[in-house]
Structure 1
Amino acid sequence: MKEFPKTSIVATGDTIVCDLPYNAQVTPYFDIEAAAGGHISIFTDNYLSFSGGEANLRAEYLTKEGPQAYEHLLWMNGHKVYYVFPKGTKIKSLKFRETGYDTQFSGSFSCSDPFFNKLRDKALRTLYVTMRDNFMDCPERERGQWTGDAVNEAGEVFYAMSPSAHLLIRKWLHEIIAWQQPDGKIYAPVPAGNWFDELPCQVLATLGYYGIWTYYLNTGDKTTIADLYDGAKKYLQLWEPDGQGLMQFRRGDWTWGDWGDNRDMLCMYNLWYYIALDGMERMARELGKPADAAMFAAARARFHPAFNARFWNGKSYRDPAYKGKTDDRTQALAVVSGIAGPEKYPAIMQVFAAERHASPYMEKYVFEAMFRMGRPDEALARHKERFSEMVNDPRFTTLFEGWGIGPKGFGGGTVNHAWSGGGLTVLGQFLCGVEPLSPGYDTLRIMPRPGKMEEAAATVPSVKGPIRTAFVNRNGRFSLDAETPGGTTTVIAVPSAKKIKMNGKVVFANGNFTKPGAAKPFGTEGGYVRFLVGPGKWRFESEK
């Protein structure tokens, strides 16, 4: 139990306003003397102004005669706590107890651009305040486990929190399948109470590469994918082929692809289906189901050329029947899924330069796509542009549901929506370049994509132990420090240079590997020189 700082307490009439140190899940407390029959209200700034809908969570208390203390055990959250006391109340102390999911902030990130440090801090705070007994879209409007939101949240967990938080991811995935209906339909959100609707794109995101497979890749928990596999396969069987290699549009109960306008829905839904096929094929191979793996591989092989033939018009991906502006979300999903090859990247970059339709939820995939296309500077510039209003807003320690508050928001517009924090993942996975290559981090890659960023460092709390990496990129020189835990093999990729040193010894010069010592040459590809190393500390230095 903590007291509010005295400097944060402001009294106006019958109301006392107390600042919290940040947006937190709290149970507020008071110790007072009062007359019998008085009425006390306790609520937060979210209740007053930022709930994303109708005012809801608050506490009401009726006083007895004399001294009394009360802690409101139904948690609430916000940046400020308001107490409204009856006239004549003597206040002895006001306190709060912060509660939340049992995990540690074990990851870290910093870079030479203060904006992205602040973005990452706000993304982490938003993530934590939307975790408890389930992932939630927001902690005051409904606390619903919308499964598309949880996909982004789970991805953030792997780069920010101790492995204890993996249990919450596992619980979410089991609940998605446990609530599956006999006909194969899957709800979003779950657990379902008064909501029994299928959102096809969110379900596909969960069952595919970014959902179940990413969980397995980061944890190595094979039991869970074995538990989930049959239900995921049953859901995909609900989708009907169109006879031309693609899938018919499945409306579900809510035809939702994202907040905002200019959604090219047929393209988007087909791309999410393809990403789901990718995850299912990988799971089938891991689980020793060669017939299923071959079935999913064949479906993907048909899908890839069919999608490009139908939807690529030479400038962008676009359903010929779609009449809106070119959808940036669709281009992003085409890149991250592998549907779009490098020959299409210049045209897609033109779309990203011109179009701004994705919500903060889908902007994560635009950010990732631009990194995958080898355009880190443009990726960072766009993400900074789009998120600047909420990151730079001094009133909040969290990220918003929409691009602003009130009329600039979507769906009610809460001020703490972890679906907006996908940048946290991208900064660790692509800017700093840390990602698992095989389940449970048996093998991993450290491949920073610095662009013009001068410095960045990250600690990734993997199931094998912390992975630490830091680069300095300045004045034509590049250095990379990496520390990898026991039980891992790491591919370290260094931007190509005339000469590269490892731990002080030349290991690459004039286009050729030299005697590398503890590092094994692993080829060159895509502007990188790659080395294979075991656990330990490694320092690579290069000059252009």
Structure 2
Amino acid sequence: MEQLAVRFADLVAMDLKCDYAVNPIGIDTIRPRLSWALESGGRGRKQTAYRILVSERLELLNRDQGEVWDSGKVISGRQNQIEYAGTMLQSRLCYYWKVCVWDQDGNLSEWSKAVYWEMGLLKAEDWQSSWVGCPESEQEKTGPLFRRDWTIEGEVLKARAYICGLGYYELYLNGVKVGDHVLDPAQTDYDQRCFYVVYNIAEHMNKGQNTVGVMLGNGWYHQNKVWNTSVMDYGKPKFVAQLVVTLSDGTEQILTSDEQWKTAPGPIVADNIYAGETYDARLELDGWANPGFDDNNWGQARRVSPPGGKLVIQMMPPIRKVKTIRPVRMTNPQPGVYVYDMGQNFAGWARLKASETEGTAIRLRFAETVDADGMVDTASTGVFATGVEQIDTYICKGGGLEIWQPRFTYHGYRYVEMTGVAGNPELDDLTGVVVHTDVEPAGSFECSDAMINKIQHAVLWTQLSNLHGVPTDCPARERCGWLGDTHVIAEMSIYNFDMAQFWSKYIHDIETSRRGSMPFDIAPGKRLCLRGVPDWSTAFIQLPWYLYLYYGDEQIVREHYSGMKLVLEQFHSQAKQWILYEGRGDWCPPGSIVPIETPVEITSTALFYLDCTIMSQMAKMIGHAEDSEKYGKWANRIKEAFIAAFYVRENYTFGSQTADSIALYLGLLPESDAKEVAASLADDVRVKHKSHLSTGIIGSRHLYGSLSQYGYGDVAYALLNQTTYPSIGHLFSKGATTIWENWEETKFNAKLNRVEHRSMSHPMQAGFGAWFYQGLAGISPDPEQPGFKRIVLRPQIIESLHYSKAEYRSIHGRIASHWKRHEGTLCWDITIPPNTTAIAYFPAQSADCISESATPIGDIEHVRLLGVENGNVVCEISSGAYHFEIG
């Protein structure tokens, strides 16, 4: 193996990941993908080659030996989505790896730090355990407990637990909860796949006596209270578990789930994901998961039939308790009624502290808002649709301070109504617990405008409140993965969070919802809406594209290409003269749930065009040249038909803000008329709607970018700073801290004799948040070199803003764009990760007025002038940090 004398320490491989995860325990792909970022203090740094070592033994890896895989020196600039190509991987084994790289001058870097991945149970026969549940006599009891004593004969070297508990579970070892996951596993269609999780349990194990405990909840598996209860329920709670201990002498001891486990009812007497949880502390069995507990009165667990789905690893961030929120105030609107205001609408639950007498039932009722009398108003949580409110009940055991929080439910709320307490509660007796899929932050954005920053804050809270194993539409009423919502929010979510694993999982969920060619409108699970329409099904094509575009993920495209192709062919068969008339349309514009100004055929056809263009690119990328050519021709035909059917040439418009915004974004219009259409759109906003939007979720996604791209940033700015109906500022004046489903419209429900509000936390209305990064900061990926291998930097400078600042941690590394005005000069600081380049658009007529650190831009090494385009000086810039001045 080549070893050069000169070692170039300025280029460092870091942030090593396997299948998007850092040191994952539990991988069930036999060719996992490896990636790393590069760090350097200089400019123009590139990777020209790499070498990967993989070993079962860390000591061999530390001696630079990869007995499992030594890639050798690979001449390549690639640093992500690199498939493992060593010897066959084995179940339960841990593999250590590291990488070194060669730079642009042929110098070799230091080795990266050693990291690892560990395999799960790769074959069905690796599972020696049986699925178990309650005895038939206790099938109707909720929250069952299971326990098993286990003697370990020797010193523990390594210990793992493999478990799937449906619908939810908690695993205990010697009285201690294992891991920090909650609401585990993530929701799937359990007839097709069920997630298991691997835990490192070595620290919990004793030499000698041990006790393993499992508590089960209903979750989504046994959800039988809301919607069509005869259809939604998969069956009674059950679990499968396998614990493997490796002793210091190399021998193994395995504990399986079987009928030798003992079971008894627990203190959770009711739990439902929508309706809440009831916990009777008087029924607690102290020490039930500890050695020495007397379980003679417990029944025997029963072997039960497995769910229909295949056991697969949960390869996504788990749901966790992420943070706590202290209430900002407590009121007493009626005798015995105490209302806590958390100050923020979010998803999670409340932690209760109480000192009451035995049998006292404390009732917590959750809502997003309060009425004029200060009482909680649960209308926006969807009572009109679900028939239930979000209520947790805790029954005290008495005898002192009791602290409790639920396990198997969650709520979307800001306000909590507490009743049942005998004394006067304190503000600190309730704490809000924020619960969501624990995705890592990937981006940050701020600007000089307080309103825009407030909107960004609300966008983040709205998105996080709707990540619970699936991308929910709202955290209270439906909690469903509507496909139409997902393609609208995908890019916004990716800029703000690391969503690679999350969206990969959800694409598989959509696959499980397909019946024939078209996926149903909701995934996953049994509430499928029994309908699949093009403008919602497009998510199955768009989401793989975004994973390819933002993460360079070709595998997800290859894996689902045949399904995506069937969906696109179905669109084609439904179209009439290339126009698609089926769909839900521009959902939730001001004043309505269904579209008003924009006919369904406009949005469905535009998305049909988008799908054809990206399918053409994806087909080309994976070597399907004929498909690529065909879909490209389809796109041309759609464009011709779209313009002919909807374009009003004399007025330069397609008839609505949504139609014009999408046409401008997609280039779905005569190119020579683009500026005129943009002017017409701006006029529609300013004059016809008096600086208000009239778009639904599809139009809002592209409204601001389409205006700013063509020089109407001031119009976009006015929209975002609007404070009268309909606007986000108006919602803020009503107390909103998240983005609402609609624009405050209500209707009277005669059946319930109450006003019907819509959800106050709906990310589908927040898809425009991608524009803060793409537009104001100007950070976009290049489809020709995806995964930000080549970055497009093109900020939309708005006169009303003094600065805009964003960072994005791409799969290649940290990208930054920060522009500000200073004494008549536009200053622009950018950071480009090593081994990438950027195409930068400077808002200037000539390169003569651009300098970098006081040096004319034409004299800067690593900056190459490409020309002038539409009032922008275009340059190619190599990696590094730069300070430009334009003036």
Give the TM-score normalised by structure 1: 0.88
Structure number with bigger Rg: 2
SS at match of 1:228: helix
| 1:111 to 1:89, Cα distance in 2 relative to 1, 3 A | closer
* Aligned residues of 1:360 and 1:401 also touching (Cα < 8 A): no
Partner secondary structure for residue 239 of structure 1: helix
Equivalent position of 2:661 in the other structure? 332
Deviation at 1:6, TM superposition (A): 7.4
- Distance in 1 (alpha carbons) for counterparts of 2:718 and 2:325: 39
Give, in angstroms, the shift of residue 236 of structure 1. 1.5
SS in structure 2 opposite 1:10?
A: strand
Give distance in 1, aligned partners of 2:867 and 2:776: 21
Residue 404 (structure 2) pairs with residue 70 (structure 1): yes
* Conserved 8 A contact 2:652-2:673: no
Match of 2:717 in 1: 380
2:449 counterpart residue number? 113
Tell me how far apart the structure 2 counterparts of residues 415 and 296 of structure 1 sit (CA, whole Å): 40
Q: 393, 399, 413: which is aligned to 2:739?
A: 399
Residue-by-residue CA offset, 1:454-490 (whole Å, 9 max, x unaligned)? 2111111211222111111355421110012122111
Match of 1:484 among 805, 811, 832: 832
- The percentage of counterpart residues that share the same residue type is 18
Q: Take 2:550 and 2:674, find their aligned partners in 1: how far apart are those partners?
A: 30
The alpha carbon displacement at 1:303 in A equals 2.2
Looking at structure 2, the residues matched to 180 and 460 of structure 1 have their Cα atoms a distance apart, in angstroms, of 34
Q: SS at 2:633's partner residue?
A: helix
Aligned mates of 2:704, 2:423 — CA distance in 1: 56
Map 1:66-465; keep pairs closer than 5 Å. Answer: 66-67=399-400, 68-73=402-407, 74-87=409-422, 93-161=429-497, 163=498, 165-182=499-516, 184-209=517-542, 211-240=543-572, 246-250=578-582, 255-259=584-588, 260=592, 261-314=596-649, 315-316=651-652, 318=654, 326-340=655-669, 341-351=671-681, 352-353=684-685, 354=688, 356-360=693-697, 362-385=699-722, 387-390=727-730, 392-393=732-733, 395-404=735-744, 406=746, 412-437=757-782, 438-452=785-799, 453-465=801-813
The answer to whether the 8 A contact 1:188-1:198 is kept is: yes
Structure 1: how far apart are the matches of 2:855 and 2:730? 46
> Residue 473 of structure 1 corresponds to which residue in structure 2?
821
Distance 2:352 2:431 in 1: 6
Deviates more, 1:430-439 or 1:343-352: 343-352
More helix by share: 1
Q: Which residue of 2 aligns with 1:323?
A: none
SS of 2:457's equivalent in the other structure is: helix
Whole-angstrom CA distance in 1 between matches of 2:576 and 2:324: 65
Mapped partners of 1:28, 1:347: distance in 2: 51
Distance in 2 separating the partners of 1:201 and 1:333:
16
Structure 1 456/17 Cα, relative in aligned 2: closer, same or farther at 3 Å? same
Cα deviation, residue 540, structure 1: 1.2
Name the structure 1 match of 2:119.
Answer: none
Q: CA deviation at 1:436?
A: 0.7
Distance 1:3 1:525 in 2: 50
Contact 2:534 2:582 in 1 (8 A): no
CA deviation profile, 1:290-336 (whole Å, cap 9, x unmatched):
01101101111222223222322212555xxxxxxx33212222111
- Distance in 2 between residues matched to 1:4 and 1:535, nearest whole Å: 41
State the shift of 1:376 in Å.
1.9
Whole-angstrom distance in 2 between the partners of 1:6 and 1:331: 44
Q: Note if contact 1:493-1:529 (Cα within 8 Å) is conserved in structure 2.
A: yes
- Local SS of the residue matching 1:415: coil
> In structure 2, do the counterparts of structure 1 residues 138 and 335 end up closer, same or farther at CA, with 3 Å as the change threshold?
same
State yes or no: 1:24 paired with 2:346.
yes
Give unpaired runs (5+ residues) of structure 2. 1-320, 369-375, 749-754
* Partner AA of 1:468 in structure 2: A
Give the unaligned 5+ runs of structure 1. Answer: 319-325, 508-513
Aligned-partner SS, 1:61: strand
The answer on whether the counterparts of 1:79 and 1:396 sit within 8 Å (CA) in structure 2 is no
* Secondary structure in 2 matching 1:189: coil
* 3-state SS of 1:100 partner: strand
Provide the C-alpha distance between the structure 2 equivalents of 1:194 and 1:24, rounded to a whole number of angstroms.
24
Rounded Cα–Cα distance in structure 2 between residues aligned with 1:248 and 1:361: 16
Q: How many residues align?
A: 522
Aligned partner of 1:364: which letter? R
Query: Which 4+ runs in 1 deviate beyond 6 A?
Result: 1-4, 89-92
For 1:283 and 1:268, how far apart are their aligned partners in 2? 22
- Rounded to whole Å, the distance in 1 between the matches of 2:718 and 2:747 is 25
1:506 to 856, 876, 879: 856
Q: Structure 1 residue 528 and structure 2 residue 872: aligned? A: yes
Could you say what secondary structure the match of 2:413 adopts? strand
Q: Aligned in 2, Cα 1:486/1:366: closer, same or farther, shift over 3 Å? A: same
Alignment match of 1:40 (pick from 357, 362, 369): 362
Distance 1:159 1:103 in 2: 12
- Tell me what 1:15 maps to: 337
Aligned-partner SS, 1:203: helix
Q: Which amino acid aligns with 1:346?
A: E
Separation in structure 2 between the aligned mates of residue 316 and residue 38 of structure 1, nearest angstrom? 69
Amino acid paired to 1:399? I
CA distance in 2, matches of 1:266, 1:115: 35
More deviation, 22-31/281-290: 22-31
Amino acid in the other structure paired with 1:296? Y
Residue pair 2:612, 2:631 contacting (<8 A) in 1 also = yes
1:360–1:403 Cα contact (<8 Å) kept: no
Q: Partners of 1:213 and 1:267 in 2: how far apart? A: 22
> What is the CA distance between 1:365 and its match in structure 2?
1.8
Q: Contact conserved, 2:345 with 2:737, CA < 8 A, in 1?
A: yes
**1:413 to 1:295, Cα distance in 2 relative to 1, 3 A:** same
Show the counterpart of 1:321.
Answer: none
Q: Deviations over 1:126-156 (max 9, x none)?
A: 1111112111111001110111211233211
Does structure 1 retain, via aligned residues, the 8 Å contact 2:805–2:817? yes
Q: Is the 8 A contact 1:176 1:190 kept in 2?
A: yes
Q: Give yes or no for contact 1:271–1:334 (8 Å, CA) kept in 2.
A: yes
Q: Tell me which of the two structures has the higher relative contact order, counting C-alpha pairs closer than 8 angstroms and 6 or more residues apart.
A: 1
TM-score by length of 2: 0.55
Shift of the alpha carbon at 1:112? 1.6
Q: Secondary structure at the match of 1:34?
A: coil
| 427-436 or 3-12, which deviates more | 3-12
Between 1:199-208 and 1:480-489, the stretch displaced more is 199-208
Letter in 2 for 1:363: S
The code of the aligned residue for 2:642 comes to: F
In the superposition, relative to structure 1, how do residues 9 and 270 fare at CA in structure 2: closer, same or farther (>3 Å)? same
Higher mean alpha-carbon deviation, 430-439 vs 200-209, is at 200-209
